[in-house]
């Protein structure tokens, strides 16, 4: 009974906000349609990682096309479908689901709301339908870029990877993180673990501390708020001198923590903007929008000059260019 009451409150709140927003917009531009996109997310938009990057990507993409935005974050899996339905009933044109873990709920809701468009980040190539599109950053390249950095930077020959859930994209990032590092330094080994969550900051601290005890001195993660916890543990272990570093993603996290040496950046805004445009011109659906080094939707973030010297930076750039050219490791 309590869950039904909460769901009703959510529907009423979203609907009221939508009506207020529409009224304000139509006053400004008489008769012009106001498009709206809403993001649902199982992590927080304040997590300093995946949730924040995806929310910022949505607002940036929406700003380029004059769309209104809304979000519901930190939701449980059991609430995915009901939250999307609430936005559909409130007249939203698109639901943005930032992860493959939302795919089943998206398929369920999309079938009942054929006039609403659903964009799934890291969705599979088999997911798209008439009103579903996938946005798929190149996980192999993301992992490989991080591996290149780790291969050049590790002094202990032990590198650490922390995943949230065992998703295909996360497993691919881990595999290429290790293999790319070993192209640079064959003696490197990766230690890895999955938190079973994207929200458990304490678990991230625990896993990172354990890997530090195993000798890991370069970290890369794919676990949102869990990654934030890992960086806290790394900073604590470092104290006043940074000897253990972290490679951020999917946004440029330089300056967020002292241990962040560089980031692998995914242009979620660029991919989502393509989807928004397709909604407007009536061509949305049955398609995958790919993000890669080749089209600029995956790229190397800024360097921490205090942690990576100029010579090593040049080598990283050289190897990433070879990765883009298809000659890395050959």
Q: Measuring CA to CA, which residue among 215, 101, 217, 111 is closest to residue 167?
A: 101
pLDDT of residue 4: 39
Cα torsion for 306, 46, 80, 69, to the nearest 10°? -110
What's the pLDDT tens digit per position in 178-211? 999 999 999 999 999 999 998 899 999 999 999 9
CATH number of 139-265+299-325: 3.40.50.2300
What is the pLDDT at residue 47?
Answer: 85
Buried b (16+ CB within 10 A) or exposed e, 136-170: bbbbbbbbbbbbbbbbbbbeebbbbbbbbbebebb
The residues of the chain scoring below 70 in pLDDT are: 1-31
How far is C-alpha 1 from the geometric centre of its chain's CA atoms? 34
pTM for this entry: 0.82
For residue 13, what pLDDT is reported?
Answer: 44
Q: Distance between CA 305 and CA 274 in Å, rounded?
A: 34
Measured between alpha carbons, how far is 70 from 54 in angstroms, rounded to an integer? 12
In angstroms, the Cα distances linking 193 to 70, 89, 166 are 33, 40, 10
The class of domain 8-14+35-138+268-291 in CATH terms is alpha beta
Q: In what order do the strands lie in the sheet with 36-40?
A: 68-72, 36-40, 94-97, 117-121, 132-137, 287-291
Joined tokens for residue 274: 């393509």
Q: Sheet with 218-222: list strands edge to edge.
A: 189-194, 158-163, 218-222, 245-248, 260-266, 298-300
pLDDT at 48: 80
CATH 3.40.50.2300 domain extents, the chain: 8-14+35-138+268-291, 139-265+299-325
């Amino acid at each position: 009974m309590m869950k039904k009451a909460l769901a009703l409150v959510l529907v009423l709140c979203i609907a009221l906000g939508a009506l207020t927003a529409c009224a304000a917009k139509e006053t400004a531009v008489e008769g012009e349609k106001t498009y709206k996109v809403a993001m649902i997310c199982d992590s927080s938009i304040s997590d300093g990682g995946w949730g924040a990057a995806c929310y910022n990507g949505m607002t940036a993409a929406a700003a380029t096309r004059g769309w209104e935005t809304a979000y519901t974050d930190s939701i449980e899996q059991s609430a995915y479908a009901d939250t999307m339905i609430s936005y559909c009933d409130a007249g939203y044109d698109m639901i943005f689901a930032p992860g493959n873990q939302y795919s089943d709920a998206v398929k369920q809701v999309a079938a009942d709301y054929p006039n609403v468009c659903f964009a799934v980040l890291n969705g599979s190539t088999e997911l798209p339908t008439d009103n579903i599109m996938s946005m798929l950053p190149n996980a192999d390249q993301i992992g490989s870029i991080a591996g290149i950095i780790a291969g050049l930077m590790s002094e202990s020959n032990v590198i650490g990877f922390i995943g949230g859930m065992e998703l295909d994209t996360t497993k691919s990032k881990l595999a290429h993180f290790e293999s790319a590092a070993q192209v640079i330094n064959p003696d490197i080994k990766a230690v890895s673990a999955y938190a079973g969550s994207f929200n458990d900051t304490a678990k991230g601290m625990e896993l990172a501390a354990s890997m530090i005890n195993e000798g890991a001195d370069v970290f890369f993660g794919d676990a949102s708020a869990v990654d934030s916890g890992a960086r806290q543990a790394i900073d604590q272990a470092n104290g006043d001198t940074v000897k253990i570093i972290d490679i951020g993603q999917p946004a440029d996290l330089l300056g967020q923590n002292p241990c962040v040496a560089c980031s692998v950046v995914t242009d979620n805004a660029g991919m989502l903007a393509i989807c928004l445009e397709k909604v407007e011109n009536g061509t949305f659906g049955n398609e995958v929008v790919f993000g890669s080094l080749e089209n600029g939707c995956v790229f190397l973030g800024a360097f921490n000059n205090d942690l990576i010297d100029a010579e090593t930076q040049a080598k990283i750039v050289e190897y990433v260019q070879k990765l883009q050219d298809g000659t890395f490791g050959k």
